[in-house]
Amino acid sequence: MVSCQADTELRDLDEEQLWEILESHRYRIVRSTCPNRLTPYLRQAKVLDQLDEEEVLHGPQFTNSAMRVGHMLDLLKTRGKNGALAFLESLKLHNPDTYTLITGLEPSIDLNNFSGLIETSKLTECLAKAVNSLQEELTQEKHQKASLLHHCRQLKDRVPQLEAQNKCLRGIEAEHNRMKREVSSHFHEVLKLKDEMYNLSMHYTNALQEKDLAITRSQGLQEELYLMKQELQRARVETYYERERSLRMPSDLQPQADELLQLREENEKLRSLVELETFSLVQKDILEQNLDEALEGKQELLNRIHSLREQAVIAENQRKQYWEEKEHTLIECHKMKVDCEIYKEKISALQGQVAELQKERDQAYCARDAAQLEISQNLLEKDSLRRKVFELTDQICELRKQARQQQAELGSRVHGVRDSSWTLSVNPLQGSGGSGVVQGGGGVAWNWLFPLPHMKCLPSLPSTPIRRRPARRILSRITTIAFHGTALLEQISIIGGNQTGIFIHRVTPGSVADEMSLFPGNQIMVDYEVTDPAFKAILEDATLEEALWVLKRVNGFCCLSVRMNMEGYKRLVSDLENKVVTSGDSFYIRANLALEGKAAGELPVQCNDILHVTDTVFRGESQWSACRVNPYSMKDMDAGIVPNYYQPLLSDLQSSGGQPKLVRIISTDKSKINPLWSSIDCNVYDPNKADGALLARAVGEPRAGSCFTLMPYTLVRPHKLAQLRPVLFVPTLLGKILSDKLCLTKGFEKCLLCEAECTAQNRSLVREKGEPDSRCCVTRQALQLLLEKDVHSLLDVGLECMRALHAAGIYPILLLVSISEKNAKKLKKALQRLGATEEQLLDCVRREEAQLEKVPCLYGTIAPNTWSDLDALVSAVRAAVANEQKKIVWIEQDLH
C-alpha cells in the first residue's frame, strides 16, 4: 500500500515539479547512472526510439558516461511528464539508491505496472545488443590504439633527426663562442690603437706649439734684420758722403783719420750684423725644414688615424653582426629545446595513453566476461523462479479447490480464514520470519516480482504488537521501520541537533524498538503516524528540542525512517564527551524583543541583536544556550541562557522617544506553526500553551482565541559580501536630497531607472515605487555597471522592493535617518527644491519607519542629535555607510 501511495504521489506531480526534482539531483544522476542499462526500458516505455538510443550510446560527441546520461536527460525532458516518470521507474529497476536519493521513497516495485515491458525474447535481444555495443567499442578502442602506436612510432623516428639538429646547433654555438672571443681580442687591439693615436695627437699638438713659437721668433728676427739693413744703408750713404768730402777737403787729416777709424769700426759692426743676418736666414731655413717635416709627420699620423678609425668601424660592424648571429642562434637553440621538451611530453603522454588503453582493454575484457557470467546466472535464476511460479500457481489452484469444497460448511468465517491462508501462500519468497512489513532501503519486494492471477490486497495491520523480522542494515540507505511507538522516548533516547542530525543514543533492552533492531548510531530522518497520515515530521535538520517534541507526541503505530551514520554519531559523541559542544544544534536568530536577563546565567538581549544558538535543551531544561554574535566577524562573544518562548513583557513594551526599541512586533499567519513564535491571547499569557509554539516542520492545529501572534526570534542566515553594497535611505523623500549631495562626492553614484518592460528578458528587478504600471525599472545591468566601477549605487525604490532585491542576490545597506521637528526646519530649503514641506517629510518618516518592521534584514540608524545641518548629515551618512559595509549581512530565513 505504501508503494502504491508513493507512486500515486509521484504521478500526481505536474511536469515542472518532476523535472525540478530531477534537475536538483542531476549531478548525482550523471555520476552514478549507466545509460546502457536504462535505454532498453526507456525504449520499451515509448519515451525513446532506436535513433535516440544510438545517439545516446554511440554519439561521437559524448566522450564519457556522464555526458551520455546528461544528453539522455535532455531528450527525456522533451517527452514531458512521461519521460520523467519512465526515467524514475527505470531507476527503480537498475539504480534503487539513486531513486531513493531523488524521491525519498522506497524503490519497491509492483510489476502490474510493468506487464509486457520485459519479455524473454526482448531481454535476450537487449543483452545481445549490449554485448554488440561493447564489442564495437572495443574495436574502436583497438583502432584508436593502432593509430596512437603509429603516431608514437613517427615521433620516435623524428627523435634522431631532432638530435642531429641539436648537435648542429651545438656546433653553431661553439663557433659563435669562438667568434665572440675574436671580437673581444679585436676590441682590445682597438683600445690600444686608440691610446697610441691619443699619444700621437699629443706629440702633434706639442710640435704645433713649437712651430708657433719658432714662427714668432723668426718674425722678430726679420724685423731686426730689416732695421739693421736700413742702418747699414744709412751708414753706407754717410760713408760715401764722408769719403767725398775727405777727397774734397785734404786738410784736417787727423780728424778725418779718426773719423775713418770710427767708420771702419762701424763697418766691422755692420759686417758682424750681416753675418748675424746670414746666420738667422740659415736658422730660418732649418726651422722651415723642421716645419715641413712636422707637417709630413702630421699627415702620416692623420692617415694612420683615419685607417685605424676605418678598422675600428669595421671591427664594430663585425661585433654587431656576430652579436646578432649569437642572439639568433640562441633563439633558435631555445626553440629547439622547447620543441624537444614538447615532443618528450607528447611521447610521455602517448605512452601514458597507451598504458591506459591497455588497462581499459583489460577492464573491458573483464567486464565482458563478468557480463556474460551475470547473464548466464540471470537466465538460470529466471528459469528457477519461473519453476517456482508454476509450483505456486499449482498450489493456488489446489487451495481454491479446497476452498470451494469447504465454502458451504465454513461460511463467512471460513472465507476469512481462506483469504488469510491464501495470503500466506502467495509470499513464499518472503520467508517465515513474519509479515514482511519492514523493508530495507533500496531492497526489492520479491513477492511482487511476478504477477499472480486474482491477487487480492493484504489484510489490514493487526492492532497488537507482532514480532517482526529484523530490518536489514545497509549503510547510507534509509530504512523505514513500522512498529508500536507507545511511550517512544521511554524506549529510546536521542542526541544531536539541526547541524549534526538526530541520532538514537540509547535503546531500552527488551523494548519494541530493541526488537525492531534500532540501535545507537541510527539517524532518524522522518517520523509519521500510520493511523494519522496528516502527522509527518522531517527530522533531518530539526533541532533537538523539536525532535523531542515530535517524538514525545508519538503514541501508537508509527513509522520511523532511519539510516546508518556511525561516523557522524561517533564524531558527535566524541565532541560531547570532550565538551567541545553541548549538543548538535547550531543556528542564528534575530531577537525581536529586549530581555533584561535578571536571573543568574541569563543573557541580556537587545532588540535586533543576532544570537548564535548552540543548544535548544540546555542542561536538560526547556531553555536555549546562546551567544551574542560580533556584527563584524561573526565570532561568538557573550554567552548565556535565553528563553525558548516569549515571556510577556506587556508592561515594558512602551518605549519613549530617544530610548532603544524594546520589541519588534511581527504579525504572522496563525495557521502555520513556527518554532519561534508565541501567541498573546488578549493580553493574557497561558504558560501551558507554550509548548504548542515550539513545533517545527510538523503539522498542528492553530491556537484558538489568539488575538495576535508575536515572533520573539527570527531565523537568519549570514552573507559576507566583498563588493560595495547599494544604499537605500528611509525616508525616501530625504533619500532624494541625500542622493543628490552624495553624487557630488567620491564613491557614490545614482542607479538610474530604465524605461523598459519589466520582464525576464531584460532581467529587471523592481518597478518604480508607487507606480505598478510604470515602465521604469532597476535592472541588473545598471547595478552591475556600478559594481564594476567600485562605487555605492544609490537606489530610489521603496521598502516593498527589499524582498525582490534579496531574491536577486542584492543586499542593500538600509539607513534610517531619524528626524525631529528641529531637524526638519534645517532641511527647509532642500525640501523646497523638491516641492515638499516639513510636514510631508515628518509624515513620510512616521509612515516608512513603521514599514521597517516588515523588512527581512537589519538596518542602520542615524540619530537626530548627531547632525546639525545638511553637510553634517552627509558626513554622518558617509560614516554610517562605511560602518555598515564592514558588517555581516543577516537576512531572514524563510520557514517552509
Residue type, 732: T
Q: Please tell me the distance from the alpha carbon of residue 584 to that of residue 581, in angstroms, as a whole number.
A: 7
Confidence (pLDDT) at 198: 84
Biggest CA pair distance of the chain: 224
Pairing of strands 748-750, 860-862: unpaired
Secondary-structure breakdown of the chain: helix, strand, coil percentages, each rounded to the nearest 5 = 55, 15, 30
Q: Please tell me the distance from the alpha carbon of residue 479 to that of residue 343, in angstroms, as a whole number.
A: 57
Confidence (pLDDT) at 416: 41
Give how far the C-alpha of residue 422 lies from the chain's centroid of Cα atoms, to the nearest Å: 61
Confidence (pLDDT) at 577: 94
Give how far the C-alpha of residue 346 lies from the chain's centroid of Cα atoms, to the nearest Å: 32
Instruction: Give the DSSP H or E segment for 299.
Output: helix 253-425
Q: Please tell me the distance from the alpha carbon of residue 796 to that of residue 740, in angstroms, as a whole number.
A: 11
Contact of 36 with 57, CB cutoff 8 Å: yes
Q: How many CB atoms are closer than 10 A to CB 438?
A: 20
Q: Please tell me the distance from the alpha carbon of residue 429 to that of residue 274, in angstroms, as a whole number.
A: 162
Confidence (pLDDT) at 249: 56
Here the cell at position 630 is 560580533
Confidence (pLDDT) at 776: 63
* Region at 106 (left for phi over 0; alpha for psi -120 to 50; beta for the rest): beta
Here the cell at position 439 is 523493508
- Convert 560-587 into a string of H (helix), E (strand) and C (coil): EEEEECHHHHHHHHHHHHCCCCCCCCCE
Structural domains in the chain plus CATH codes: 2-118 (1.10.533.10), 133-404 (1.10.287), 478-716 (2.30.30.40), 722-748+795-892 (3.40.50.300)
Pairing of strands 792-794, 748-750: parallel
Long-range CB contact pairs, 167-175, < 8 A, 24+: 169/329, 169/332, 169/333, 169/336, 172/329, 172/333, 173/329, 173/330, 173/333
Pairing of strands 478-484, 557-564: antiparallel
Here the cell at position 891 is 537576512
Here the cell at position 573 is 559523541
The pTM (predicted TM-score) of the whole model is: 0.47
Intervals of the chain under pLDDT 50: 1-2, 111, 114-120, 412-436, 438-475, 646-658, 668-708, 758, 760-763, 768-770, 772, 896
Specify the length of the chain in residues: 896
Nearest to 317 by CA among 178, 171, 190: 190
Specify which residues 716 forms β-bridges with. 588, 892
- The angle formed by the CA atoms of residues 227, 233 and 236, to the nearest 5 degrees, is 140
Confidence (pLDDT) at 609: 92
Q: Please tell me the distance from the alpha carbon of residue 830 to that of residue 828, in angstroms, as a whole number.
A: 6
Here the cell at position 715 is 531565523
